[in-house]
Amino acid sequence: MRAFLTRRSFLGACSAAGVALLAPRRRAWASSPSPHPTPRPGITGAKVLTHEQLADKPNLIPLFDSIRDIPEVVDGIRCNCGCTNPPVYYSLLSCYEGNAMARECVLCQGQGRLAARLHKEGKTLDQIRQAIDAKFG
């Protein structure tokens, strides 16, 4: 019995693995009737990381600033990245606070950018949620 792969089968296996890793996955909460949290009354962006805390990531400062400006919107969006622990992370806003998972997670960043852009365009929270679910859900 031969214990090696042909070049063609190796490349095919690599391609299949790459597609499997990059394919969007449905999250368990995405299929539930109400996957997004209710924005907390009086929520502010006071805990969102500051310019000083992002000194090593200056390219993220505008994103974190835009999240800080719309905490009442971002607090009503479930983060779909899958690396959150739901009692600890209430909403997408949580990803920009404290240890700020959004410093590294491109999905958190993408959802934040989309939310900020759509809010600037005058979209409602429900419209923003629908767009985020369509793209990231």
pTM above 0.85, yes or no: no
3-state secondary structure of 81: coil
CA 124 to chain CA centroid, nearest Å? 19
pLDDT digits (tens, 9 = 90+) for 16-60: 555 445 544 444 444 444 489 999 999 999 999 999 999 999 999
Alpha-carbon span 41 to 21, nearest angstrom: 38
Alpha-carbon span 48 to 51, nearest angstrom: 10
Q: What is the pLDDT of residue 25?
A: 46
